[in-house]
């Protein structure tokens, strides 16, 4: 289906924004040396038979830089929360007192930091590939529209330039976030 320039650009920008959003979410789940709710809030808990994100069944706070406290809205789900944390790949050990769960976030070893930086770079590369695929799709839409005489050759060239600008902008955003997260992970 042929689209006009504005539709192509809007679709391209929305999809690139989403790709960066996914990347941002992946970074939140990666541990730095500090405790953050992001380390556990998307871990899925078996809540009455359905896998539910932790943040929907509990209040998550970080009263200290090395500690996460999880207060379930419903005390009967405490055991399921502990089980979900243990079986996640977060590498955290939950301690329950029957009302709340405390997690002590140990400082990262140098080796663990390197592993995390490798994961950041892997996520960043996947995100950049995703952005380039979106660019390719948008360019194809433009070429189809030009073939169907919905835009001129000059319009197509201008469109491709705008698509390239969006690509640069969103790849830049991914690179900046990756650099910041890397610095965060490596700082003692």
Here the CATH number for the domain that contains residue 93 is 3.30.1360.40
- The verdict on 96 and 126 lying in the same domain is no
CATH number at residue 121: 1.10.132.20
Q: Is 65 exposed, middle or buried (0-12, 13-18, 19+ CB in 10 A)?
A: exposed
Residue 87, pLDDT score? 87
pLDDT beyond 80 at 2? no
- The verdict on 43 and 85 lying in the same domain is yes
Q: Count how many domains the chain has.
A: 2
pLDDT, tens only, 148-174:
998 999 999 999 999 999 999 999 999
pLDDT class for 188, splitting at 50, 70, 90?
low
State mean pLDDT over 182-186.
Answer: 88
Residue 30, pLDDT score? 78
pLDDT class for 19, splitting at 50, 70, 90?
very high
State mean pLDDT over 168-188.
Answer: 92
Q: Strand 44-47 relative to strand 58-64: parallel, antiparallel, unpaired?
A: unpaired
pLDDT beyond 80 at 185? yes
pLDDT class for 137, splitting at 50, 70, 90?
very high
- The verdict on 138 and 161 lying in the same domain is yes
- The verdict on 117 and 179 lying in the same domain is yes
Domain stop point among 56, 78, 104 = 104
- Percent pLDDT > 90 in the chain is 65
- Domain limits for position 18: 5-28+109-186
- The verdict on 23 and 113 lying in the same domain is yes
Q: Is 152 exposed, middle or buried (0-12, 13-18, 19+ CB in 10 A)?
A: exposed
What residues have CB less than 8 Å from 37, skipping those under 6 apart?
55, 60, 61, 62, 68
Residue 65, pLDDT score? 83
Sign of the C-alpha dihedral computed for residues 184, 110, 40 and 20 taken in this order: positive
Mean pLDDT of the chain: 90
Report whether 61 contacts 68 (CB < 8 A): yes
pLDDT, tens only, 97-133:
989 999 988 788 888 888 889 999 999 999 999 999 9
Residue 122, pLDDT score? 95
Residue 144, pLDDT score? 94
């Amino acid at each position: 289906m042929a689209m006009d320039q504005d539709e192509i650009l809007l679709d391209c920008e929305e999809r690139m924004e989403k790709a960066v959003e996914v990347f941002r979410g992946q970074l939140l789940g990666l541990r730095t040396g500090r405790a953050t709710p992001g380390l556990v809030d998307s871990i899925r808990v078996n809540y009455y038979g359905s896998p539910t994100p932790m943040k929907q069944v509990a209040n998550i706070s970080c009263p200290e830089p090395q500690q996460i406290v999880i207060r379930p809205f419903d005390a009967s789900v405490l055991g399921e929360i502990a089980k979900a944390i243990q079986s996640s790949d977060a590498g955290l050990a939950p301690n329950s007192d029957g009302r709340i769960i405390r997690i002590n976030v140990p400082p990262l070893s140098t080796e663990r930091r390197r592993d995390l930086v490798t994961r950041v770079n892997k996520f960043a590369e996947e995100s950049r590939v995703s952005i380039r695929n979106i660019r390719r799709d948008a360019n194809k839409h433009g070429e189809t529209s030009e073939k169907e005489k919905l835009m001129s050759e000059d319009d197509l060239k201008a469109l491709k330039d705008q698509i390239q600008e969006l690509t640069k902008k969103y790849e830049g955003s991914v690179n900046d976030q990756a650099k910041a997260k890397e610095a965060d992970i490596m700082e003692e």
